[in-house]
Every structure is written in C-alpha cells, then in structure tokens.
C-alpha cells in the first residue's frame, strides 16, 4: 500500500499519515482507496501501531504469537530492522536513521533480554510468513482483535502547522 500515484511529494515525513492511499490485490485486481477524514479545517490522519493496517483496518499479514503476545511487522524491511535491534548485544545510539524512533517505542517485553530468544524466533517466523502468498498460509494470529492504538490519528491543519488563524 503506497500513496496514490500523481500526488505531490510531502514536505514533512509526518504528512505521510494524511496522504490518500490505494491498495490493489495482485490476485483478483480489487482496488481500494483511503482518504483522510476532514474535520473542520483539519484532516484526521492515521495512527500507526497495532496489528492492523492503519489505513484500511485489515489484519496485517505478518503476525505471530510470541511470549504470550502478538508480534507483528509491516513488511520484510521492518522485520530486518527489528531483528537487528533485538539481536544486538549492545544497543548504541549512533548516526541518524529514519527507523530509530521506532525502537524507543517498542514495548518493554520486546526489549528485555529475558525475551530476546523468543522475540528473535518470532521474527524468524515472520520472515518465513513473508515468503508465503496464499491466504490459507496466514498465521492463526492474523485476525481482528481491535488493538488499535487510538480511534483516530493526528490532526493536520491544511494551512500548515505554523499558520496563525484569526477568529
């Protein structure tokens, strides 16, 4: 799922949560579109996190049970980043990388050394799931649970974050 073709390149990374999206099924050709909700003079975007796609509210393909919880990832790159971070013996803060903010937000059960082996095994399972394409191969953890982070995401005011409005 990507921003719709033909849209302007966003000025800020945070604008990606408000850009219209389109997803197409490679099997049957079905296409679905998503538009941000308009509320007053602003747009209500999505809030990433949880085991559902933040735009279309469908269960993520890459999910598995791990340490009594659900371990999920958006794609193979996400699995790789998580595995590198969880598997690191020493987690240093180095040069800037776009995914570094994700690590600070990981739940404590994933970052603790006591769960490291279980989490890495779960990530290997997610890597194997990424190679599968048939719905029958979907993990038994991939079902709707309603564990969305919040009902609506952030607000974006069309005039820009620093525009002053007078009443």
- pLDDT tens sequence across 89-134: 776 665 655 555 777 778 889 988 888 999 999 999 999 988 876 6
- Cα–Cα dist 94/131, whole Å: 31
Domain assignments of the chain as residue spans, ordered by start: 2-48+149-157, 62-137
62-78, pLDDT tens digit by residue?
A: 999 999 899 999 889 99
């Amino acid at each position: 799922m990507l921003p719709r073709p033909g849209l302007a390149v966003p000025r800020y990374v945070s604008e990606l949560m408000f850009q219209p999206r389109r997803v197409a099924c490679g099997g049957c050709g079905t296409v679905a579109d998503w538009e941000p909700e308009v509320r007053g003079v602003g747009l209500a975007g999505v809030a990433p996190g949880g085991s559902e796609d933040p735009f279309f509210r469908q269960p993520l393909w890459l999910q598995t049970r791990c340490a009594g919880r659900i371990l999920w990832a958006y794609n193979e790159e996400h699995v790789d980043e998580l595995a590198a971070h969880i598997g690191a013996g020493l987690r240093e803060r180095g040069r800037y990388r776009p995914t570094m903010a994700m690590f600070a937000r990981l739940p404590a059960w994933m970052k603790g050394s006591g769960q490291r082996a279980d989490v890495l095994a779960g990530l290997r399972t997610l890597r194997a799931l990424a190679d599968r394409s048939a719905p029958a191969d979907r993990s038994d953890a991939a079902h709707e649970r309603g564990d969305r982070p919040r009902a609506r995401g952030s607000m974006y005011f069309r005039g820009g974050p620093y525009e002053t409005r007078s009443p």
